[in-house]
Amino acid sequence: MKKLALTLLVPLTAFSALAQNKKTVKKTSPASKTAAVAIKNGLDSASYAFGTSMAANLKNNGLDHLNYDLFVKGLKDAFGDKALLLPKEKSQAAINNLFVEASKKKFAPAIAEGKAFLENNKKVAGIKTTPSGLQYQVLQAGSGAKPLATDTVLVHYKGTLLNGKQFDSSYDRKEPISFPLNRVIPGWTEGVQLMEQGSKYKFFIPYNLAYGERGAGQDIPPYSTLIFEVELLKINGK
């Protein structure tokens, strides 16, 4: 979750009073209207800028509104050193939950696409599905040992999105990669343990076993279902 600078968004609404009789409507006198907000000094400018900056950041992260009354109360309580309505832990949890829900809403098409793909893919001959939802296909059987989660493995691999776009490949770099199996995404940790040394598998990894709600850089969007071809070359140098 990206850290957002806390800023202030305070919408102001002008009120007018209307009174109507059977035939005519009285006009509101200018004196009864709320005066327009004016920027008069540096503090005014910064205060308004805080609001616009926060709104832009929140919108970029999927939010489109807040409870403004409680938001302003929170600011005033914090600035005034008053007793807070929520403790720090609950406040952070509330913020995190709101962003997760907003993110799911924003990326709902990607979530739906991944779910539909996996539902159809599990019906394909040769595709196996584990209790976690990981799907795999044996492209080439091996005859060696199987790694443990605590092992270091040497592999060749390539990864693609559902649309076929490749985001990484050790084959293209012409160099396999070695890493501890418990230091990678859950789909890899689980999947590679199914492999025998010398085998080659194709993994279909749901977003919750991949990079989840965050994605990974610009190449892997949030909530992406990923496809990997993995070739297990060695286990701890065995």
Catalytically annotated residues: 157, 167-168, 185, 211, 228
CA dihedral 141, 145, 149, 153 (to 10 degrees): -80
177 is written with which tokens? 């990669």
Q: What is the sign, positive or negative, of the torsion defined by CA atoms of 233, 124, 185, 113? A: positive
Tokens 């509330």 belong to residue: 94
Local structure of residue 166 (DSSP, 8 states): E
Q: Are 54 and 8 in contact (CB under 8 A)?
A: yes
Type of residue found at 234: K
Instruction: Give the closest residue to 75 by CA, choosing from 91, 60, 63, 62.
Output: 91
Residue 160: beta bridge partners?
166, 227
Q: Kindly report the CA angle at 215 between 209 and 220, in degrees rounded to 5?
A: 105
What is the rounded CA–CA span in Å between residue 29 and residue 17? Answer: 9
What is the rounded CA–CA span in Å between residue 111 and residue 222? Answer: 9
Residue 213 burial by Cβ neighbours in a 10 Å radius (0-12, 13-18, 19+): middle
Residue 168: beta bridge partners?
159
